[in-house]
Structure 1
Amino acid sequence: MSIKIAIQGVKASFHEEAAFKYFGKDIETIECESFKKTCEMLKHGKADYVVMAIENSIAGSILPNYNLLRDYRFHIIGEVHLNIQQNLLALPGVKLSDIRTVESHPIAIRQCDEFLSDHPDWAIREGMDTAGCAKRIKEEKLTTTAAIASEFAAKIYGLNILEKRIETHKKNATRFLVLSNEVVEQKNANKASLSFQTGNSVGSLASVLQCFAEQHVNLSKIQSMPVVGRRNEYDFYVDVEWKKQADYDAAIRKVLKHTVNFSIMGEYIKNEKV
């Protein structure tokens, strides 16, 4: 029986591509209309894992997903980096001059702002998912609408590519997290995602960061989110990488003395390939 992966979006979405990249093609993807729905599927045992986008090299962190990580407290067991290539898709026979409306996910639209600014007459509509917009064009036979989506989506939904590689920055990558309800021990783990709070005194965060520096543990990302209902208090989310396990273990022991509500969200193997 193939494992079930909950993804936000429909078939041929970037989330499905990320799931294939991490788990291989022999999986069943469960299409969900929202990231919250993917978490509910995992929570209730209807999915084995969730693949969730967490940041894009152009659009930045996907902040609502940090809230979901905090609320559901799933375990991060891995990560996937995916090169994002955006294309303009339309029904066969439709020409560029026929287009009146372009639909896609808001982040995909932002990634293609330079191309879209060359076509000021087009109406831009935000959708829930890149592949979902492509699917809608196919199902509703929309002859004046184009979608911004992947080559994979064009293939799956039988659409033509009117313009290839329309993303503004060609080095456009999204990082996805792989989430599990259970702790999955990763041998040779060399990366961790941590969360904590610090005191409000001067230099309290600097003291924590110094603990990592002293142990030669690299801080690859830091993100702060307000603590709900508590003014001037923040949750800090950090990703750290190390070469020697002993250095990481020593850093964690030191950090515990300077933080509250400390949590190891996951220890996993860094994904080198984009």
Structure 2
Amino acid sequence: MKKDKPRVAIQGIKASFHEQAAFEYFGENIETVECDSFKQTFVALERDEADYLVMAIENSIAGSILPNYSLLLGYNFPVVGEVYLPIQLHLMALPGVKFEQIKNVTSHPMAIRQCGDFLDEFPHLKIVESSDTAACAKRIQDEQLTDTVAIANALAAKTYGLDIIERRIESNKKNYTRFLILTTHENVTKQTPNKASLCFQVSNQVGALAKVLNIFADLGVNMSKIQSMPVLGKRHEYNFYVDVEWEDNKQYDAAIKQVLKYTHNFNILGEYVRYEDESEKAPEVKPEKPVRKYISVKKLNK
């Protein structure tokens, strides 16, 4: 029986940045499955309590969220998409509350750090850390707190009936977070990918990693991300997580075949369509020649 709405597991509650990322990817006609941790989102997918999960993987200021790479490899669910979400943080309170009434500011520790310049101007305010930005907004509404403001996104203000009293208080206005979309192998749909997330190991020899990276460069495959993580319990051994992008799938196909010769424990974590920000796209120009048809690449997971 076909489901009316996709069930999407997120870390956090409704109106969190994870739900905002889910809306960006799927649209708002989804059923949000709230989870207390990133691991629980994978468990929900594993138990068929969700059809997809949305997981933050890196932030332009804070960097990679390292434990989430281990979840990617450990559960082996395919990555089917990505979203880059601008992180815009606002100060919000119950309707009618004036700034002069505020004594406490509550939010996730990362959001608080990202608003340090603004908060430094008001040293009398008590900072209260919490596990989730949206949960802070919800608490203000639930407990009708008139002396407390939350730092969260506009979706949280709308969802929990709060007024935004100061907009865009984040210190870096170009801050964004990248989210990955994962699903079960049964839910993977056919698409024409131009990006892939890979994981592999190389021998502990001089130039071993450089040899692999040069293959991508020589064949015109762009490496947009590389992250290393130690292999648990093994000295001098690392998993390398690499994101690559391409224009012609033949380049990617050829690169994978060559890379396999110089790596071990090679996994394709997912092949998907690279996220494009509609606001940054150039005006569409119709191609003079037909677009090359994509030839699917066989999965090479070991």
Q: What is the TM-score normalised by the length of structure 1? A: 0.96
Alignment match, 1:223: 227
Q: Distance in 1 between matches of 2:70 and 2:237?
A: 15
- Which 4+ stretches in 1 moved above 4 angstroms? none
**Which amino acid is 1:206 matched to?**
A
Alignment match, 2:77: 74
2:246 counterpart of 1:242: yes
Q: Distance in 2 between matches of 1:108 and 1:186?
A: 37
Deviations 1:198-257 (A, max 9, x none): 111111111110010011000001111111111222111010000110100111111111
Alignment match, 1:172: 175
Choose from 27, 30, 55 the match for 2:33: 30
Q: Distance in 1 between matches of 2:158 and 2:28?
A: 16
Deviation at 1:195, TM superposition (A): 0.4
| Counterpart contact for 1:54–1:176, Cα < 8 Å | yes
Flag structure 2 segments of 5+ consecutive residues without an equivalent: 279-302
Alignment match, 1:140: 143
2:6 counterpart of 1:17: no
Total equivalences in the alignment: 274
**Which amino acid is 2:32 matched to?**
T
Choose from 60, 65, 75 the match for 1:62: 65
Task: Give the SS at the match of 2:80.
Answer: strand
Please give the root-mean-square deviation of Cα atoms over the aligned residues, in Å: 1.4
2:248 counterpart of 1:251: no
Alignment match, 2:126: 123
Deviation at 1:185, TM superposition (A): 4.7
Task: Give the SS at the match of 1:257.
Answer: helix
**Which amino acid is 1:44 matched to?**
R
Q: Distance in 1 between matches of 2:11 and 2:224?
A: 26
Alignment match, 1:273: 277
Q: Distance in 2 between matches of 1:197 and 1:102?
A: 45
Going by fraction, where is strand more abundant, 1 or 2? 1
Tell me the percent identity: 60
Alignment match, 2:156: 153
Task: Give the SS at the match of 1:220.
Answer: strand
Q: Distance in 2 between matches of 1:124 and 1:3?
A: 37
Q: What is the TM-score normalised by the length of structure 2? A: 0.87
Alignment match, 1:108: 111
Q: Distance in 2 between matches of 1:118 and 1:199?
A: 52
Q: Distance in 2 between matches of 1:252 and 1:17?
A: 34
| Counterpart contact for 2:73–2:269, Cα < 8 Å | no
Task: Give the SS at the match of 2:23.
Answer: helix
